[in-house]
């Protein structure tokens, strides 16, 4: 039976090869009424269910993926891409004829920040009941990713999101929640994220936002300079809302972890096998490993997968953070989100060899 459920956002990424363009050439050429020739398109899976779920699978964790797709050609392609990562991985995907499959067109010419055309599609229809009681009863941990890209999960102050996490805790699961940065001009960006967090975090054991995401959700601000003071302030607010661990992703600056006190932490669920004396009231900021960065796609999601795997292995908080950063470092050594991920033993041996 799967140890871990990874549920939430899943999409098909369509990535045209624009490497033949010189810096600035694509933007100068891509004008209304013009046809611009590109190279072959790569088709890959994207979203938290793909990035975190398949990363956990590669790290040796028995994982069930749960997401919605449409019954359309893109949905068939998305299922095939997921199944190619491991036999049976696509079995938990839910196809609905009335939905369209989510996709992103990734526009990434040389020396220019990536741009995305994204259709949330079936992700907007995801509901708490898509994660069945049967699935919850068989797992130890549930990770859910990207509610800001899933309209039904942030509507009504996150009623469906909160309901899902309440159900997971009723089965004594350890629960984990990851975010995505909402478009400020979209309905997700205008949602009441403070209320959504207040309604949901009492049932969340591990909350894993990025610094930019949580800065926007708490203060509606972007581009805030990172500081230890702000990390302490944000984590205090989130722990006060009910989270037991706050893991804030800092991009190239590393990872920040802060945990609740022992009286709260003891209700963390059945995936926790660590030393109950070492985890409560823990706080640390740990830097990234030094690697040759090829691509950063999915690095945050893979970092979360490494953290969850470390937790399942019963590691100390410092070791679990190290495992998270090591998984993320392997990810950025490849252009896509999954090619760089190695087995748990291979990654941990690299760490112990003095990486």
3-state SS assignment for residue 83: helix
CB contact set of 55 (below 8 Å; sequence gap of 6+): 298, 301, 302, 305, 306, 327, 331, 337, 338, 341
Q: Work out whether strand 41-46 and strand 11-16 pair parallel, antiparallel, or are unpaired.
A: antiparallel
Angle at 206 between CA 205 and CA 211, to 5 degrees: 140
3-state SS assignment for residue 164: helix
**Dihedrals phi, psi of 256, to nearest 5 degrees:** -120, 130
Domain segments of the chain as ranges: 4-8+48-68+124-352
Q: Which of 178, 145, 189 is nearest to 249 (CA)?
A: 178
Most distant CA pair in the chain: distance in Å? 65
- What is the pTM assigned to this prediction? 0.94
C-alpha 248/C-alpha 12 separation (Å) is 26
4-8+48-68+124-352 folds as 3.40.1190
Unique residue bearing structure tokens 């196809």: 95
Per-position pLDDT tens, the chain of length 355 = 799 999 999 999 998 998 899 988 999 999 999 999 999 998 999 999 999 999 999 999 999 999 999 999 999 999 999 999 999 999 999 999 999 999 999 888 887 777 889 999 999 999 999 999 999 999 999 999 999 999 999 999 999 999 999 999 999 999 999 999 998 999 999 999 999 999 999 999 999 999 999 999 999 988 899 999 999 999 999 999 999 999 999 999 999 999 999 999 989 999 998 889 999 999 999 999 999 988 888 999 999 999 999 999 999 999 999 999 999 999 999 888 899 999 999 999 999 999 9
């Amino acid at each position: 039976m799967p140890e871990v459920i990874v549920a939430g956002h899943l999409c098909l990424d369509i990535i045209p090869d624009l490497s033949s363009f010189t810096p600035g050439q694509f933007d100068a050429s891509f004008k209304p009424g013009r046809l611009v020739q590109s190279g072959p398109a790569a088709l890959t899976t994207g979203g938290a269910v793909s990035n975190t779920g398949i990363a956990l699978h590669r790290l040796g964790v028995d994982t069930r993926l749960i997401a919605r797709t449409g019954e359309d050609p893109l949905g068939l392609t998305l299922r095939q891409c997921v199944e190619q990562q491991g036999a049976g991985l696509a079995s938990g995907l839910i196809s609905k004829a009335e939905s369209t499959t989510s996709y992103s067109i990734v526009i990434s010419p040389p020396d220019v920040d990536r741009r995305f055309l994204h259709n949330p599609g079936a992700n907007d229809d995801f509901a708490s009941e898509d994660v069945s009681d049967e699935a919850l009863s068989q797992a130890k941990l549930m990770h859910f990713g990207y509610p800001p890209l899933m309209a039904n999960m942030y509507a009504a102050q996150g009623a469906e999101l909160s309901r899902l996490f309440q159900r997971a805790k009723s089965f004594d699961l350890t629960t984990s929640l990851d975010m995505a940065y909402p478009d400020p001009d979209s309905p997700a960006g205008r949602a009441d994220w403070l209320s959504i967090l207040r309604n949901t975090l009492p049932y969340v054991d591990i909350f894993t936002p990025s610094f930019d995401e949580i800065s926007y959700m708490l203060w509606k601000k972007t581009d805030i300079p990172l500081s230890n003071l702000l990390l302490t302030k944000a984590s205090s607010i989130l722990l006060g809302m009910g989270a037991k661990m706050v893991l804030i992703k800092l991009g190239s600056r590393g990872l920040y972890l802060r945990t609740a006190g022992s009286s709260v932490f003891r209700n963390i669920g059945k995936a926790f096998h660590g030393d109950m004396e070492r985890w409560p009231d823990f706080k640390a900021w740990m830097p990234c490993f030094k690697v040759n960065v090829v691509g950063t796609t999915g690095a945050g999601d893979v970092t979360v997968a490494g953290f969850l795997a470390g937790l399942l292995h019963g590691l100390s908080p410092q070791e679990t953070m190290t495992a998270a950063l090591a998984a993320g470092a392997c990810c950025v050594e490849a252009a896509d989100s999954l090619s760089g991920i190695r087995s748990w033993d291979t990654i941990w041996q690299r760490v112990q060899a003095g990486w």
